[in-house]
Amino acid sequence: VIRHSLVDVGRRGRGRPIVAPELLHLAYFSRNYVTRRRGGTSRADVCRSNSSVAQQLEGYTNISRMWDMLAIVLDGRDEKSIDDPDVDAGVMSFLLWPSITLLLHERSEAGDVQTCVAVCEVMDILDRMNAREAATGSAAASHRPPLLGDAIDLTTVREWYLSHIEILGRRCLFVEATALIRSCGDPVVSALNKNSTTVHESCSMCGKPLLAQGGG
């Protein structure tokens, strides 16, 4: 059962995290986290950027350090060595996926689906898990262990996404929810755009009209 606070400061400010720290500042993290690489930006650079975002808030040192740790493990890794743990890319090569599995398990246990989804987006975890599932039965895939071990499967990761998107919607962060759905290549998550026909004309909490941006 995922429990979360209904308090959302939205901007940088003081506050004591109750269960999941990002949910106290849900809007702030949703709008400032970088989850997709642009240009020549490396995954390690993206993690360092997210560490800086978390560091701006008092009481979020553990989240900032988590991103820093992930950046260290990712430094110097190319896509082939990230996707295949058997590729020797230095001492950190064998720590990457066990480290990611551990931090995802810890944040999931804390009910922190926002961090879980952010890490999954940075690492393209859903795409990798779907690719492995599609290759199930092939000779190449038969000897490969689960990407995140036996404890975290594809269904669990999808539940993180669906829970996070639902929370974004409840907090009226429709732009952020839609962007996440559109950027996700998973068929279950991306289907939310096709299945939903709801048009939000006003905020469900305060009743304020939602004004369209631009001239359209």
| CB 93, CB 74: distance < 8 Å | no
Model pLDDT, residue 59: 85
Model pLDDT, residue 144: 56
Lookup result for tokens 């308090």:
7
Distances (CA, A) of 164 to 22, 69, 168, 189, 200: 11, 24, 6, 11, 19
Residues 117, 114, 33, 185: is their CA dihedral positive or negative? positive
Share of the chain above pLDDT 90, in %: 39
| Reported pTM | 0.76
Q: Is 131 exposed, middle or buried (0-12, 13-18, 19+ CB in 10 A)?
A: middle
- With 60 as the cut, is the pLDDT of residue 37 above it? yes
pLDDT in tens, 38-88: 777 889 999 999 999 999 998 899 999 999 999 998 887 777 777 665 555
Write down the mean pLDDT value for the chain. Answer: 77
User: What value does the mean pLDDT take over residues 1-12?
Assistant: 45
Model pLDDT, residue 113: 92
Model pLDDT, residue 91: 54
Model pLDDT, residue 53: 96
- Where residue 104 falls among pLDDT bands split at 50, 70, 90? very high
- With 90 as the cut, is the pLDDT of residue 118 above it? yes
Residues 140, 143, 149, 150: is their CA dihedral positive or negative? positive
Geometric angle at alpha carbon 84, from 79 and 86, rounded to 5°: 130
Model pLDDT, residue 46: 94
- Among the ranges given (39-53, 75-89, 95-109, 127-141), the one the predictor scored with the smallest mean pLDDT: 75-89
